[in-house]
Each structure stands twice: as C-alpha cells, then as structure tokens.
Structure 1
Amino acid sequence: MNARKTWTRTLGTATAAGALAWAVVAAGQPSAAPTSEPVAETGPGYAIEDYNYPGADRILAEQGIVLKRGDGHIVLADCLSEENLLRFLARGRADVCFKVTADEGFLTLEIPSVHGVRTDDSVNTHLAMTAEDDRVEYDIPAKTWEGVGESVDGREHVLVEIRVTK
C-alpha cells in the first residue's frame, strides 16, 4: 500500500510540475498585442444621401428620361395612376408625370422637346429649361396648364430642373 501512495504522490507531483512548466513557457512567449482600430473602419458605416435618383439607369433605358438628382419629393409616376400630378408634354413622346410628395422639392433631369406643363393642385412650380446656349426659367402657379419652351419661342427646349414650393 505504501508503494501505491508513493506512486500517487509522484504522479501528482509530476502533473503539477508539468502544468507549472507549461505555464512558465507560455508566459514567456510573446503574445499578440491587442489591436485597436477606429470604429469607422470596421463598423457598418453611415448612410449618406447623395441625392442621386434611384433606378435612373433603368428609367433611361426604358423611357429615355435622364433623372439626375433630387431630394425624393418629386418622383416619376404613371400618368394614369392619379390625377394630381405634374404633367409634361413633349414632342415625339408620351406625357411624363411626376408625383409631388411634400410642400417643397427639387429634381434635376433631362427631358427634350418639352412644350407644355400642367402643375400639381397644391404647389407652385419653377422650371428651368435650356435651348441652345440659353437658360429659360418659368414660374407657374398651382393647378395651371401652361405652354413652355418650344411653344413659347419656337426653339426646342430641354427641361433640366423642377422645383416646387407651397
């Protein structure tokens, strides 16, 4: 029985010595220093509005309308979807309509050969158009049909900006 005690004691001492030796060796090894990085480089980031019109490439390919930038308060709409829309008449194409979703908004775009507009019932509309090297602007009250661009001076005009205000 004495031999068994000696054997158990020896085994216990050897195990403890091995664990101690492993701890000393591990502690002496250089460890990787904790790194710190700025959160902005690894986090999800911020959503920054660039005001580019969503789906503009698809709309250009399907409808031939260049929609550039806006604040989201003037959006392309189906002219048959409802009555209270901004409606633009352009030579050689179907009417182009926009829904106004706020009291103020802006949209930069390119629609060639625009000659008429019907404004929304609730907002005044400011249009900027170009003809050759000239920039022409129109202020049109709410709920109005008006000739613009080509129907006013006979030159082809491109609608380049829409601004609405209450």
Structure 2
Amino acid sequence: MNLPRAMVRTLITTVGAAALAALAFTGGSAHGNGDTAVTTAAGEGPGYAVEDFGYPNADKILAEQHITLKRGDGHILLADCSTGTDLMEIWSRANSKICFRVTGNSGYLTLEIPSVFAVKGNAYSSEVDMAVGTEEKTFTVNKNSWTPVGESADPQGREFVLMEIRATK
C-alpha cells in the first residue's frame, strides 16, 4: 500500500503529538508514575500571570460585609459611601447601602446582593441585571437620581438579587 507523502507526514506528526501529550499527562515518565525530576533552566523568567478577572479580596469582603463580588474589568469598585461623590448607591434590605465607584470609560461587575430595591445612579449610563428565581430582568439606572428596581418595580413585590452592573460614559 503506497500512501501519499503528505498523508505519511500528517500521520507521523499526529503520532508524535500524541506521544508528547501522553508524556506531559504522565508527568514526563514513560511508566506514568511521575517520578521524574522537574528542573528549571537557569535564567528563565517568571511564569506568566493569567488574569481571571476575579474581584480582589472577594472572600474577605464576603466575610466582613456579606457582599458576593465575583468578576469584573476593574472599573467598578466597591467604595466607602462616606468618602466621595459620584458614587453609585445600591440599596438592599439585606445590606443597607452599598456604594461603587466607576472609573474609566466603561465597566462591568458581576456580583450577588440580595433584596435590592433601589439604585442611585452617578454620571455614567448604567444598567443592572437582577434575578428572582429563574426570571432575569434588566433595569436602566437613571443618571444622578434614584431608580426603583427589584421589588420596588415588581408588581408582585418579589425580592430580587442584583447580579451585574454595567456602566458607560
């Protein structure tokens, strides 16, 4: 059986890649017991950082303030409500008042704050995504004024969870 050269090259490349993957999976040991030593070459730089967009100190904030901050682009930050102006204020029956500072031209933050009923906007155009059970709703937040959201805007008065904030200049 004569195979074309291109097909032979592809077959050899595939088998070689599979062998390398097997070695990598087993820790470089041909027997799979992982007892080979791993060494670093002198002069190698530090490894690469991979950004997962997780909110810094989220575990500490959850423990201290009972606010679940998940992911964002770093442009919507939890802020002390007494330290500034142009803050977005979130009002919740579970947490009272929570403030966020928006920086840059736009930002987003995924989070969980239960029982949110009002949002005071800042100078940014903003939207908040909220959920009650499996139902999700998006509310447009009025600039520099109050917007009823969640149970305040729901004819049934159900308690909504704030899930995401998005803001643009």
Structure 1 length as normaliser, TM-score? Answer: 0.73
Q: By how many angstroms is 1:142 displaced?
A: 2.0
- 1:160 match: 163
Instruction: Give the letter for the 2:114 counterpart.
Output: P
Alignment of 1:15-164 (within 5 A): 42-120=44-122, 122-153=123-154, 154-164=157-167
Measure how far apart 1:83 and its partner are: 2.0
Q: Contact 2:106 / 2:167 at 8 angstroms: preserved in 1?
A: yes
The whole-number CA distance in structure 2 between the counterparts of 1:150 and 1:85 is: 22
Deviation at 1:51, TM superposition (A): 0.2
Aligned partners of 1:59 and 1:132: how far apart in 2? Answer: 25
Greater CA drift, 138-147 or 76-85: 138-147
3-state SS of 1:60 partner: helix
Q: Which runs of 4+ in 1 moved over 2 A?
A: 36-39
Cα offsets for 1:108-155 (capped at 9, x unmatched): 0000000000011x2111110001110010112321211100111100
Q: Which moved more, 1:153-162 or 1:86-95?
A: 86-95
Deviations 1:69-102 (A, max 9, x none): 0000000001111121010011143200000011
Pair 124,160 (structure 1): closer, same or farther in 2 beyond 3 Å:
same
Equivalenced residues, count: 129
Q: Which runs of 5+ in 2 are unaligned?
A: 1-38
Asked if the contact 2:94–2:114 (Cα under 8 Å) also holds between the matched residues in 1, the reply is no
Write the distance in 2 (CA, Å) between the matches of 1:156 and 1:141: 21
Q: Once the 2 structures are TM-superposed, how far is the Cα of residue 165 of structure 1 from its aligned partner?
A: 0.9
- The residue matched to 1:52 in structure 2 has which SS? coil
Alpha-carbon distance in 1 for matches of 2:40, 2:71? 35
1:100 maps to amino acid: V
Greater radius of gyration (CA): 1
Cα deviation code 1:46-79 (max 9, x no counterpart): 2221100000000000000000000000000011
Alpha-carbon distance in 2 for matches of 1:111, 1:92: 8
Unpaired stretches in structure 1, ≥5 consecutive residues: 1-35
1:102, 1:148 → 2: CA distance? 25
Q: Percent identity?
A: 48
Distance of 1:77 and 1:64 partners within structure 2: 15
